[in-house]
Amino acid sequence: MVFHTPTPGTLVLADGTCFEGKIIGSDQGYSGGELCFNTGMTGYQEMFTDPSYKGQLLVHNFVHLGNYGAYASDTESSQVQISGVIARNFSNKHSRLMADSSLAEYMVAQGVMGIEGIDTRALVRHIRRNGAMNAVIVSASAGEYRLELGTKALASLPTMSGLNLAPQVSTPTPYRLFPEPKEGPEAQTPLYRVAVMDYGVKRNMLQHLRHRGCELMVFPSYSSLEQILDYAPHGVMLSNGPGDPSAMNQEVQVVKALVERLPVFGICLGHQLLARAAGLETFKMHNGHRGSNHPVRNLRRNHSEITAQNHGFAVQMDALSDHPHVELTHVNLNDQTVEGIAWKDRPAFSVQYHPEANPGPHDSLYLFDDFVQSMAH
């Protein structure tokens, strides 16, 4: 078993605030990104590998981290995406019998740096008051003057506003996925062909479509309209992903053209791009929504859903009330932000949250069924 190093470390925030702790995982000297916090009690490995976290330091609200180890099937992409992890108590021991390794061993193997012993409650309260900001984890192994090194590293970090990160996490080439195998002579016969725009897609998102009999062609984020239409899809899914949707003008133009031709379903970043294709604006949130316990009201079905969320940008609410083509379908019950929209005259809709993450656990899976049904017409 790999035990985490007792090397001292410092978390240096962009506003000069510092927290002292101990380095965990891979000691790379330092690692930085935008601070964000997640309110979930479980699912840390899914969080680590979610491409939407690209370029971010992840703060865990729950006091314990690592007590059920790491398991290969609990990943949402091929590698860890976060820049680093921040925890209160880190466990080297795990009790999950099916785990492949401890979380410490997993972090070392994946080259992930973190820091424990941080008062995460105080840190989260600081972020909630002052907003999301960049920070750097600095190890004592990097040199005696950790604060100076952290400050220098902070100066080189880009801000999330205006940053297009999708090309960094998207597939470099298109690839095909067939429907989930089933018994019988029609096991491999696809019900529909779906073009998936990969802005940082999660594996479970693809699995839900395959489970419903869809063949998928997953396209790079920067693919042209012609490349997508050459596949002759019955519908298009716009995936989740990291970064600022306002920096993705080329992608928005492609989405706008797709809405005129095919049924479209957007999730998270895909939702924001669909909104911008309709002429709506997006904005950077004060500290974002991240966790598996966010209540959302479905205005069409008149019910509430417990949702999983991971986003730092959102769609402006103001222009929705009198928009000629788009209506509000879902709203966040915590802060009344936009959680879903739909075209009034086209089979196109989207949600800000993650229906594939099973937080309810099945409150929002109807969205995948709605998308499949939209391709039948």
Beta-sheet strands, E only, within 39-96? 56-60, 64-65, 84-86, 89-90
- Residue 64 annotated among the catalytic residues of the structure: no
Whether the per-residue pLDDT at 258 is higher than 90: the answer is yes
CA distance 12 to 126: 13
Per-residue pLDDT at 183: 65
Tens-digit pLDDT profile for residues 165-196: 999 999 999 999 999 887 655 556 788 999 99
Per-residue pLDDT at 185: 54
CA distance 245 to 271: 10
- Residue 126 annotated among the catalytic residues of the structure: no
Rounded to the nearest 5 percent, the helix, strand and coil shares of the chain are: 25, 30, 40
Q: Please say whether the beta carbons of 160 and 312 come within 8 A.
A: yes
- 3-class secondary structure, 83: coil
Report which of residues 190 and 158 the model is more confident about: 158
Q: Which of 105, 116, 305, 356 is catalytic?
A: 356
Q: For each of the domains in the chain, give its residue range(s) and CATH number, in order of start.
A: 8-155 (3.50.30.20), 166-374 (3.40.50.880)
CA distance 268 to 313: 9
Kind and range of the H or E run holding 277: helix 269-277
- Residue 356 annotated among the catalytic residues of the structure: yes
Q: List the one residue out of 348, 347, 325, 327 whose CA is nearest residue 339.
A: 327
Whole-model pTM: value is: 0.94
Per-residue pLDDT at 1: 47
Mean pLDDT to the nearest integer, 63-92? 94
Q: Which of 4, 94, 234, 354 is catalytic?
A: 354
Q: Which of 46, 268, 289, 330 is catalytic?
A: 268
β-strand pairing of 326-332 with 282-298: antiparallel
Report which of residues 217 and 149 the model is more confident about: 217
